[in-house]
Chains A and B, each alone.
Chain A
Amino acid sequence: MPHPLRVSGLTAVLSMLVLALAACTDRTAQPTASAGAGDEGGTIVISTAADAGSLLPTLVTSITDREVTDLLFDRLAEIGYSLNTVGDKDFSPQLAERWEWASDSMSIVFHINPKARWHDGAPVRASDVRYSFGLIRDSTVGSPIASLVSNVDSVSVRDSLTAVVWYKHHVPEQFYDFVYQVVVVPEHILSNTPGAQLKSADVTRRGIGSGQFRLAKWEPGVRLELVADTANYRGRPKVDRILFLVSPDYNAAATRFFSGEADVLEGLRADLIPKMATDTTRRVIRFPSLNYSYLRFNAVDPTAPSRPHPIFGDRAVRRALSMAIDRRAMLRNVFDTIGHLAYGPFPTASSLADSTLSQLPYDTMQARALLNGAGWRVGPDGIRVKNGRRLEFALATPSSSAIRHQYAVLIQDALRRVGAAVRIDESDFPSFTAGQLARTHDAEMGSYNPDPSVSALRQSWATAGIGGDGQNYGSYSNPVVDALIDSAMTSFDAARTEDFAHRAFNRIIQDAPAVWLYENPSMAGVARRIHTTRIRADGYWSGLADWFIPAAERTARDRLGLRPTP
């Protein structure tokens, strides 16, 4: 069942977000020349950290899966650069050439572009849309996005090129809910495989879609090659070929980029920024990030969830530990000059963000005083003790993240100086997530990629997010915060929503359920001969079909042309 609160609150919130994001993307958009005639051709080589797993959008679970399937498959309509999720005005036609709303807004009729073809030559039909939705809903398939389309009732086929989407409720985001989440997949290719076997079926690796690129060759773990679909109904992409090179080791990936073997380095890290600044053949592209990272304290005892945590249950202790951490120096250590501080439970790209909210100071004297006041006295080995318990705790961090590892070790030393012993528990990402979901961590190095709305805030920091699928992994609970968030979500007045949200932020920051550390910068390195277009915040690759390489700047691999690979 959709949350009525969430929907009404979103209308106001998202309209502001739209403005903020639009401003943001405008600021960071790259000045580009437009592609002229004769600019078709060229090869873009992308150095990526992980290989794709599944090329069936229904079963996509990783960012690389998402990236590749976005290039191979189409949706009915495409979201705009504004990422406006309300209504349909910022969407542009993709597989559907036009659409009409029913007068009661409970259904939308989509007219499929008659020129649209699957990569095997078969036409795209309305029944494919119905099949794609059915696949997500099919419980034997286990699609990770099943819960995101819960407001869609069904899809019916009026004729071979007309599909009707029926909704349960009329909500501002209903167009987005279907169009953005349901990627259209070919029924005639997939329907021979029973839903239960689809996860491990070879057909999910063939990538037959209707997008502007088609899958040419995939050597798992090594390279994945896409070529231009020259007969595509949306026109052929500018470049001939996109090659993903897989290097699980970041060094190797960076080496490939700087040796010229690759044109694009995904997830460019801060330590390479000085090197990029003096590079005349490469540049950095940055795009708005919807992420913030923090050290979260568990407010309850992981071994007995009904009791407060013996250390972090005390607000004064949480504040003291926060004050012992020099966030700006750490930011400088990890990101050099390009880091962004996190100011509270929100990404600064969000329209609700307020970086002027009062922060807890870095003040080790006050931190020590607070700890003394809370009864934690320095013991013989320099570690504080209270009632026989040492001020010692485990800090969980995923080994896959070098940045979080670096922060964890920095924090370990900072807290040692005020008499707290930190044991760094590194585990692989799956185990880390499992611990997070089970709420077994004392403290954790966390990171959020929230849907930038008040409802995401409610999921992660209000009492409502403590159990079940909620993301309040530290079980932080403050009734005042809960009330403020609820007020923000039910208000139809944008200014009041913002005011309630800021008051909630302020409360949360002062309660210190977490130490707000940094925002992960979203960056990629790109060779200058590649001319990029505007970058959409939800995926830098969204405009890849329009990237081009002017004839004068081409190298040998750009001139390979489209001849079939031997």
Chain B
Amino acid sequence: MIAGRTRDALARRLICDPRARVAVAVLVSLIVIAAFAPLLSPYDPKSQLDIVALRSQPPSAQHLFGTDTFSRDVLSRMIHGARVSLVIAALSVTLSITIGVLVGATAGFLGGTVDTVLMRFVDGALSVPRLLLILVVVALWQHIGVGVLTLLLGLTGWFGVSRLVRAETLSVRERDFVLAARALGSGPARILQQHILPNVVGPALVAAALGIGNVILLEAGLSFLGIGVRPPTPSWGAIIQDGAERVGELWWMTLFPGLAILVTVFACNALADALRDALDPRQLPYDSSAQRQAPQA
């Protein structure tokens, strides 16, 4: 009931936000591109067209974004790369959010020793650069496939989420409707499911949007350092890495995938901003109209 009303209000505020509209448009078209990649891409992304005559060609009418050193069409690789990059991001973020929500809600709801132990662990994990952690693991266990990479990104991405969710849970836990439900004899699992989870959906969504952007950046960074998706699978980071050796001459292999990453991450972050503002109306601009809109807590 409450959740439903909040959801409607949230949706209304989001629709009014131009940032959200642009971000959703970008992300939806990306998803469409990724879904219909084989239909949209002009060439087979893994096929080497002519390793002598067509290698390292700058952008032209036949190859809008040029070809790489293996004579593969960069545009086609980017279109298929969207698939790989987005799937890695979506799956790993789903994993992080799930773990983060479960851990955060458990810690916040149960409190006590469980809370202390979990949050100390999270504090510790947050103080290590995620990049470093992944680098050590990926570099030492070589021949890592897309699956393991996704798992690794997911398992190292939930720490921040769990803190957010815990804070939200703590604030909800003592509210009247939760206390009432308890008094009526609802078990912890039921309370968690009925009352707490709906209230942490908002922060979790924000974290998910930010997380997807983050993972795409991280995957590109790992590829740049020479660790990432195995050839010939195209991901945006892998395309950049293929051209990184000769960035001065083969600029098209760095520029276009880099822009694709920038636009996608920008859309994710803009969506996260819009979501956050929609969830927390206090953040609205300090002027008379905002004063009127702001609900009195």
Contacts and interface: CB of A to CB of B under 8 A. Distances in A.
Interface in A243-289: 250-251, 255, 271
- Interface SS of A by simple majority: helix
B70 A409 contact: yes
A402 B243 CA distance: 11
Given A424-B231, A426-B142, 6 more contacts: A329-B51, A330-B51, A332-B51, A333-B71, A412-B232, A426-B143
- Interface SS of B by simple majority: loop
30 contacts: A251-B246, A271-B246, A329-B51, A329-B52, A330-B51, A332-B51, A332-B52, A333-B51, A333-B71, A399-B226, A402-B245, A405-B231, A406-B70, A409-B231, A409-B232, A410-B48, A410-B51, A412-B232, A413-B46, A413-B47, A413-B48, A413-B70, A414-B48, A424-B230, A425-B143, A426-B143, A427-B142, A428-B139, A428-B142, A431-B142
B247 interface: yes
B285 interface: no
Contacts of A426: 142-143, 230
8 cross-chain pairs, A with B, having the tightest CB-CB distances, nearest first: A333-B51, A413-B48, A427-B142, A332-B52, A329-B52, A409-B231, A425-B143, A329-B51
Interface string A474-486: 0000000000000
Contacts of A408: 231
Interface string B247-288: 111000000000000000000000000000000000000000
A409 B52 CA distance: 14
A249 to B, nearest CB: 9
B46 to A, nearest CB: 7
Interface of B: 46-48, 51-52, 55, 69-71, 139, 142-143, 226, 230-232, 244-249
B247 A412 contact: no
A332 B245 CA distance: 18
Contacts of A332: 51-52
Nearest to A275: B249
B142 A425 contact: yes
Contacts of B139: 428
A427 B52 contact: no
Nearest to B227: A399
Contacts of A427: 142-143
Interface string A391-429: 000000001001001101110111010000001111110
Nearest to A258: B248
Contact of B232 (A271, A406, A413): A413
Most buried by A among B47, B231, B249: B231
Contacts of A416: 46
B69 A333 contact: yes
Contacts of A413: 46-48, 70, 232
Given A333-B55, A424-B230, A410 B245 contact: no
Contacts of B51: 326, 329-330, 332-333, 410
Contacts of A333: 51-52, 55, 69-71
Nearest to B49: A413
Contacts of A330: 51
Contacts of A428: 139, 142
Interface in A330-354: 330, 332-333
A424 B145 CA distance: 11
A251 B226 CA distance: 15
Contacts of B47: 413
Nearest to B71: A333
A332 B55 CA distance: 10
Contacts of A326: 51
A427 to B, nearest CB: 5
B177 to A, nearest CB: 56
B82 to A, nearest CB: 21
A409 B71 CA distance: 11
Nearest to B70: A409
B245 A250 contact: yes
Nearest to A423: B230
A268 to B, nearest CB: 14
Nearest to A413: B48
Contacts of B69: 333, 406
A416 B232 CA distance: 11
A330 to B, nearest CB: 7
B142 to A, nearest CB: 5
A251 B247 contact: yes
Contacts of B246: 251, 271
Interface in A416-474: 416, 423-428, 431
A329 B142 CA distance: 30
Contacts of B52: 329, 332-333
A346 B71 CA distance: 31
Most buried by A among B71, B139, B143, B230: B143
Contacts of A402: 245
Contacts of A250: 245
Nearest to A431: B142
A524 to B, nearest CB: 19
Nearest to B139: A428
A466 B55 CA distance: 39
Contacts of B230: 423-424, 426
A325 B248 CA distance: 31
A2 B70 CA distance: 47
Contacts of B231: 405, 408-409, 412, 424
A253 to B, nearest CB: 12
Contacts of A405: 231
Interface string A223-260: 00000000000000000000000000011000100000
Nearest to B56: A271
